[in-house]
Amino acid sequence: MMIRWISLPLLLGALAGPAMAADCPVLLKGQGELPKLRAKESIDLCQRFAGKPMLVVNTASFCGFTSQFKGLEALNQKYKAQGLEVLGVPSNDFKQESKDGEETAKVCYVNYGVTFTMTEPQPVRGDDAIPLFRNLAEQSDGTAPRWNFYKYVVDRQGKVIAHFGSTTKPDDPDLVAAIEKAIASKP
C-alpha cells in the first residue's frame, strides 16, 4: 500500500512535464537549449521563457551600437519585476564579435554591467541561423536582423509583436510601448 502512495506523486509529476512542454510556444520549442555565455550550463528556452514577455536582441562586442547594452540593462532592471526577460544573443554574422567567449563576457558583464541572460555567440541570419532567430524572422514578415542590436519584442504567447532596427535605442518610446504591451499580454 505504501508503494502506491509514493508512486502517485511520481506519476503526477511525470504527467506534469509533458503538459508544460505542450505550453511552450513554437518560437522557443524549435530551439531547445542554447549555451549560456561563459558558463558550463545551457538555457532551456521553454523552461526559462515560456509564458514570459521577452526582448530578444542580437548583440556584438565591437559594434558602434554596443553602448546600447546600458539601455538594455536599464530596461531589464525596470521591467524584470513585471516578468520581462531580456535575452542577448551575441553573433559574429556582421564580423563584429570576438572569437573568444571570455572577451565577449568581459564586454557584457564587466564593461556594461549586464545582468540579463546572454548566450554564447550564435548565427542569427541566413541558412545557418539558429531556430530561434529563424522563427523570429518568420514572424516578422521575413525580417532577419539587418545589423547588430536588432530587437524583437515577444508577447507571453511567443508571438513577435514588434521588431526594431539597430538605430532604435532601448529608451525609444515605441520600443518601450511594445514592451509594455508584451508585459500586458495574456499567457
3-class secondary-structure state, position 151: strand
HSE-up (13 A, CA, CB side) for residue 174: 10
Q: How far apart are CA 38 and CA 118, in angstroms?
A: 9
Strands 151-154 and 160-164: antiparallel
- 40-45 long-range CB contacts below 8 Å, 24 or more apart? 43/117, 43/119, 45/132
Annotated active-site positions, please?
63
Q: Which ranges in the chain belong to alpha helices (H)?
A: 2-22, 26-29, 45-49, 68-79, 101-105, 131-139, 173-184
Closest by CA to 77, choosing from 104, 113, 49, is 113
HSE-up (13 A, CA, CB side) for residue 163: 23
